[in-house]
Amino acid sequence: MEISLAPELLFDIFGFPVTNSFFTTVLVVFCIIIASFVLSRKISQKPKGFQNLVEFVLESILNLADNVTGSRKKSKKFFPLVATIFILVIISNWAGLIPALIPGGTLGINEIHHGEKVLIPFIRSGSADLNMTLSIALISVIAAQIMGVAMIGGKHYAGKFFVSPLKKPYFIGTFVGILEIISEFAKIISFSFRLFGNVFAGEVLLTVMLMLVPYFAPLPFLFLEIFVGFVQALVFSMLTLVFLKMATETAH
């Protein structure tokens, strides 16, 4: 099995390349949509089973958002985006662990690379693809800008970044504003590489352990990656929440 930094190409549709990470992400999205549709049709006043689990997760996220924003009104505004990112990222992270659960290896297609026969897996976490993490990071940062303008007004929001150098203390506000602009772009980079690096490193570790000792030895690392997948999803969504809160507060 080949370990590649870039996602592996499975096939193409009318010239559009379909990689294993894209294929896995599409499956995850469809599963979330179908589960949401089924759950919405069978909502009960006395939740049990899957509904109970979903309500517990969503209520926990909302309560955690209250602790960050200090306002239920703001929490409800930010909740759809934050909860969606958390659910998508955590399921995507855990989906990448499925090959480690398949006895005897993983499912995929055999291809010839550099004269050698290698296995290209069908399943690879979307979070192990920099394109995926960059996309979510862009959505998160752009949503914060839009929410900031919508809630405090364009003039007040722009005042965080563009300050007259003649305003006391002289030049300090202008310099801080420039740093704020730079930090907005830095968020995209840090968001993207933090999630990508942690998930990709975990998949490489599991793959190596499966190749060396294929049965019981990888189990501790598998449980570790389950925990890491949860932590990374929580960190990504909570940082999004913090940035949304900061964007909707007027500058002082």
Q: What tens digit of pLDDT does each residue of 91-137 get?
A: 998 888 877 666 555 666 766 665 666 667 778 888 888 888 999 99
Three-state DSSP at 230 gives helix
81: its two tokens: 């985006």
Say if residue 169 is preceded by a cis peptide, omega within 30 of 0.
yes
Which contiguous run of DSSP H or E holds residue 145?
helix 130-152
Q: How far apart are CA 252 and CA 187, in angstroms?
A: 22
Read off the pLDDT of residues 29-86 as tens digits, 9 standing for 90 and up: 999 999 888 888 877 767 677 788 888 888 999 998 888 888 888 888 999 999 999 9
- State how far Cα 7 lies from the chain centre: 17
Q: What pLDDT sits at residue 85?
A: 92
Q: What pLDDT sits at residue 249?
A: 77
Report which of 1, 30, 5, 2 is spatially closest to residue 199, judged by C-alpha positions. 5
DSSP state of 173: H
Query: Tokens 């999205």, residue?
Result: 29
Q: Answer whether residue 1 is part of any domain.
A: no
99: its two tokens: 């090959």
Angle at 213 between CA 121 and CA 226, to 5 degrees: 60
Q: pTM for the whole thing?
A: 0.84
Q: Answer whether residue 2 is part of any domain.
A: no
Q: What pLDDT sits at residue 29?
A: 92
In 10 A of CB 196, how many CB atoms? 22
Q: How confident is the model at residue 16 (pLDDT cuts 50, 70, 90)?
A: confident
Task: Please give the average per-residue pLDDT across 24-31, as a whole number.
Answer: 91
Q: How far apart are CA 140 and CA 86, in angstroms?
A: 12
Read off the pLDDT of residues 82-99 as tens digits, 9 standing for 90 and up: 999 999 999 998 888 877
Rg of the chain (C-alpha set): 22
Q: What is the dihedral of CA 171, 177, 182, 188, to 10 degrees?
A: 170
Read off the pLDDT of residues 136-173 as tens digits, 9 standing for 90 and up: 999 999 998 898 888 888 777 777 777 766 666 666 77
Total tally of structural domains belonging to the chain: 1
Q: Does residue 219 carry a pLDDT above 80?
A: no
Q: Answer whether residue 4 is part of any domain.
A: no
Q: Answer whether residue 121 is part of any domain.
A: yes
Residue 12 CB contacts under 8 Å (≥ 6 apart), including other chains: 18
Angle at 228 between CA 118 and CA 10, to 5 degrees: 25
Domain interval for residue 162: 9-247
Residue 50 contacts residue 63 (beta carbons within 8 Å)? no
Q: What pLDDT sits at residue 83?
A: 92
Q: Answer whether residue 232 is part of any domain.
A: yes
Q: How far apart are CA 225 and CA 227, in angstroms?
A: 5
Task: Please give the average per-residue pLDDT across 178-192, as a whole number.
Answer: 86
Q: How confident is the model at residue 27 (pLDDT cuts 50, 70, 90)?
A: very high
Residues written for the chain: 252
Q: What pLDDT sits at residue 172?
A: 76
Q: How far apart are CA 94 and CA 26, in angstroms?
A: 14
